Chain A
Amino acid sequence: MRRACVFLLCAVVAWVTAPVGAQPQTVKIGALFNVTGGMSSIDAPGLNGAKLAVKEWNARGGVLGRRIELAAEDGKTDQTTVANAMSKLINVERVVAVGGLNDSTFALAAGPIAQKAKVPFVIAGATLPNLPDQIGDYAFMVPFTDDAQAFVGAIYTVKTLKARRVWVMTDKAYDYTLTLTKFYKQKLLELGGVVVAEDVYQSGDKDFSAQITRLRRISPPPDALFISAVPDDIGLIVRQIRSAGIRIPIVGGDGYDTELLVTIPGKALADNIYFTTHVSLTSKAAVVANFVKAYTKEYGRGPENAFAALGYDTFNLLLDAIRRAGRPDPAAIKAALEQTRGFRAVTGTISYEGGRHVPKKSVTVIKVVKGEFQFATETTP
């Protein structure tokens, strides 16, 4: 027992005092994603995108004449671990800026640490409105916010799908799903739509027959179903609704944008679905096509979803800001980020105008036909 204790103590001491591989001629930036756990279907592609961006910059000679070193940490879909990882990146790895995270609960746990240390934190994919305001002036967002995508979803429902009577179902367990529903309903009512009935469930539920029975009782049936869900649940919901013989169009947000939407219900049932997201990866635009090509070459498969593109954009934006800052200094990088205007990213154009740290970006609508993701439209709300 004593020997084991001594060994453990030695191991801890060795680990604490281990020299951090500091090379003077590099610029070190941090990537924080939940590569394992519930968020991994979204965060792992994000990290792949981030690594690709850094690799491309290094191939072009790095930034400010120095090689870029990417310190990547796994948050393990756990708030305590995410906060620990952020602290490690800043205090041990001594990165000059951090990018990553696709969910606000985790961004809010990690953000204050970066804010306190005055290190810029660029949020890759969390879409909660006013997220930077809650963290502080060192936080920036790459994606659009939920109000923007919910508005576009509502406009698409009413104007394009010609649906006026909408049934709304919301996952009560997430910040994201609740916010999305709130803004969707607001816009829908503004446009003269009606919510015929509302239902709820909790992430992790496996049986939606009660909700589907209530939905069937609505007469006449609604014109569209708005379902605010996270990736883990939406596949199952679509499967059960479609299996029940309900063919009404389903509308949702960027939580739909994973392969789970198609793999769980199967190609035949994943049909007549519309969702808002950050980019259509089938787009012909050069910036998108180049990214898809580079990603496919690097990883042997196409980008899994828009979060790969967001991760890529986050680090391109960050490295561009470091280049414009002229020196790898957190305060200078923050100032350079604030001056970002018209930065051409895969997921749209990023500008931080009027002191806002949230970009005004276009929202893409994707149409799912027999398991195929097709580009429907792109608008700026």
Chain B
Amino acid sequence: MRAIPVVVLAGGVLALAQSFLNPYYLRLVDVTGINIILAVSLSLTNGLTGVFSLGHVGFMAVGAYSAALLTLPTARKALILPDLPAGLQQVHLGLLPATLAGGALAALCAAAIGYPVLRLRGHYLAVATLGFLVIVRSVLINWERVTRGGVGISGIPPYTTTWWTYGVAALCLYVTWRLTQSAYGRAMLAVREDEGAAAAMGITPSAFRLLSLVVGAFFAGTAGSLWAHLITVISPNSFWLTETFALVVMLVVGGMGSTTGAVVGAVTMTIVPEALRGLEGGIQVAGLNLPPLFGLSQLLLALALILTMVWRPQGLLGGRELSWPRWLRQGSLPRRANK
């Protein structure tokens, strides 16, 4: 109940942003929202349960492609995908059902791969989830009847709005928060900290690991759908290693194992590179004419990342949560034990 004022406040800010913000800044707000969904859902898997997954972008791809196939106007489908199965050919859905379907399919994929893969630990698990990403890419490239292969799908209707993005982001945050506050969340934490001890307490580690992977994948799928309907063109190259590592960087910067840390990481890694853009085009400082230096933003970010790792390896928030102001405060999350 106490979250209502926050929701109202956030809604008000978004409404103001929609009516007054320049389309460029509004676009950044939307991109930030999508990255928040991605980072928070990954933090649920990677941070809370300690399942280090590098396949998150693969789930995003599944969501993006399936949602795009559902929202693409039938006339365009007949033109660019003439060999599509008849059932899919006739379907034309809105953003919400398509996004939910995309998320559901991604969750289904997660359940299917999670069962065998989650028996692995640590690095082995990370590599196996990376394997999932490779499989998704191969399917996207070779299943030409449905995905158009390397050509990709273009002309996706630009349905994504700030409201949809932040609606899904709010849902994602709510689910994550409810989960972490519940017995399920405690069990996940226990599995992360000491699997043996957790099992001794009657928790089935594999079930909780699978649960966190599936929930994370669902939101990755919805984020994929929102991204596809924002950019309007997707191809197998849109979901590959650069995106995977950009996402991991968001988590590392914000601090693994903290939901608000993931939000801070997503916001920072979306806004800062765009803000640094101004430096790249060549600027005038006190009569001094600096030449354009493209690549400067990547360089500065890389440097910032190294410095973070040296001085604050636990990330900006270091696994803690930012709490509400006192008048809104809820119960706080147990801190991550220092290993």
Q: Residues of A with Cβ closer than 8 Å to B?
A: 4, 8, 11-12, 15-16, 18, 35-37, 44, 71-74, 76, 78-81, 83-85, 87-88, 90-92, 105, 108-109, 112, 117, 134, 171-175, 177-179, 202
Beta-carbon contact of A112 and B158 below 8 Å: yes
Beta-carbon contact of B31 and A84 below 8 Å: yes
Beta-carbon contact of B237 and A87 below 8 Å: no
Across the interface, which residues of B come within 8 angstroms of A35, CB to CB?
Answer: 294-295
Beta-carbon contact of A83 and B27 below 8 Å: yes
Beta-carbon contact of B154 and A108 below 8 Å: yes
8 contacts between A and B (CB under 8 A): A36-B295, A72-B281, A74-B277, A84-B28, A87-B23, A105-B233, A109-B231, A175-B151
What is the minimal beta-carbon distance from A175 to any residue of chain B, in angstroms?
Answer: 4
Number of interface residues of B (CB under 8 A): 41
Beta-carbon contact of B233 and A177 below 8 Å: no
Best-surrounded residue of A11, A44, A80, A171 (most CB of chain B within 10 A): A80
A92, B25: Cα distance in complex, Å? 9
Asked whether B327 is an interface residue with its Cβ less than 8 Å from the other chain, the reply is no
A316, B150: Cα distance in complex, Å? 33
Given contacts A78-B242, A79-B238, A83-B231, contact A16 B25 (CB under 8 A): yes
Asked whether B141 is an interface residue with its Cβ less than 8 Å from the other chain, the reply is yes
What is the minimal beta-carbon distance from B269 to any residue of chain A, in angstroms?
Answer: 12
Chain B residues touching A, majority SS: helix
A72, B230: Cα distance in complex, Å? 23
A74, B296: Cα distance in complex, Å? 10
Asked whether B274 is an interface residue with its Cβ less than 8 Å from the other chain, the reply is yes
Beta-carbon contact of A109 and B233 below 8 Å: yes
A205, B335: Cα distance in complex, Å? 44
What is the minimal beta-carbon distance from A61 to any residue of chain B, in angstroms?
Answer: 22
Which one, A71, A76, A202, contacts B281 given CB within 8 A?
A: A71
Best-surrounded residue of A4, A79, A177 (most CB of chain B within 10 A): A79
Given contacts A35-B294, A36-B298, contact A74 B151 (CB under 8 A): no
Which 9 pairs show the lowest CB-CB distances between chains A and B? A35-B294, A91-B24, A108-B233, A87-B24, A36-B295, A175-B151, A74-B294, A173-B150, A91-B23
What is the minimal beta-carbon distance from B232 to any residue of chain A, in angstroms?
Answer: 6
What is the minimal beta-carbon distance from A269 to any residue of chain B, in angstroms?
Answer: 27
What is the minimal beta-carbon distance from B292 to any residue of chain A, in angstroms?
Answer: 6
Across the interface, which residues of A come within 8 angstroms of B316, CB to CB?
Answer: 4
Beta-carbon contact of A173 and B236 below 8 Å: yes
Asked whether B278 is an interface residue with its Cβ less than 8 Å from the other chain, the reply is yes
| Interfacial residues of chain B within 1-37, with CB under 8 A of chain A in the complex | 22-25, 27-28, 31
Given contacts A36-B295, A74-B280, contact A173 B274 (CB under 8 A): no
Which one, B27, B155, B235, B275, contacts A15 given CB within 8 A?
A: B275
Q: Residues of B with Cβ closer than 8 Å to A?
A: 22-25, 27-28, 31, 141-142, 149-152, 154-155, 158, 227, 230-233, 235-238, 242, 268, 271, 273-275, 277-278, 280-281, 292, 294-295, 297-298, 316
Beta-carbon contact of A84 and B27 below 8 Å: yes
What is the minimal beta-carbon distance from B295 to any residue of chain A, in angstroms?
Answer: 4
Beta-carbon contact of B151 and A179 below 8 Å: yes
Across the interface, which residues of B come within 8 angstroms of A71, CB to CB?
Answer: 281
Across the interface, which residues of A come within 8 angstroms of B31, CB to CB?
Answer: 80, 84
Beta-carbon contact of A88 and B238 below 8 Å: no
Across the interface, which residues of B come within 8 angstroms of A175, CB to CB?
Answer: 150-152, 235
Beta-carbon contact of B295 and A105 below 8 Å: no
Which one, B149, B271, B277, contacts A88 given CB within 8 A?
A: B277
Best-surrounded residue of A74, A171, A202 (most CB of chain B within 10 A): A74
Which one, B24, B142, B294, contacts A36 given CB within 8 A?
A: B294
Given contacts A105-B235, A172-B142, contact A72 B292 (CB under 8 A): yes
Across the interface, which residues of B come within 8 angstroms of A44, CB to CB?
Answer: 294
What is the minimal beta-carbon distance from A104 to any residue of chain B, in angstroms?
Answer: 8
Given contacts A36-B295, A74-B294, contact A173 B237 (CB under 8 A): yes
Which one, B23, B230, B275, contacts A12 given CB within 8 A?
A: B275
Across the interface, which residues of A come within 8 angstroms of B25, CB to CB?
Answer: 16
What is the minimal beta-carbon distance from B320 to any residue of chain A, in angstroms?
Answer: 9
Chain A, Cβ-Cβ closest to B281: A72
What is the minimal beta-carbon distance from A340 to any residue of chain B, in angstroms?
Answer: 26
Across the interface, which residues of A come within 8 angstroms of B275, CB to CB?
Answer: 11-12, 15
Across the interface, which residues of A come within 8 angstroms of B155, CB to CB?
Answer: 134
A84, B227: Cα distance in complex, Å? 13
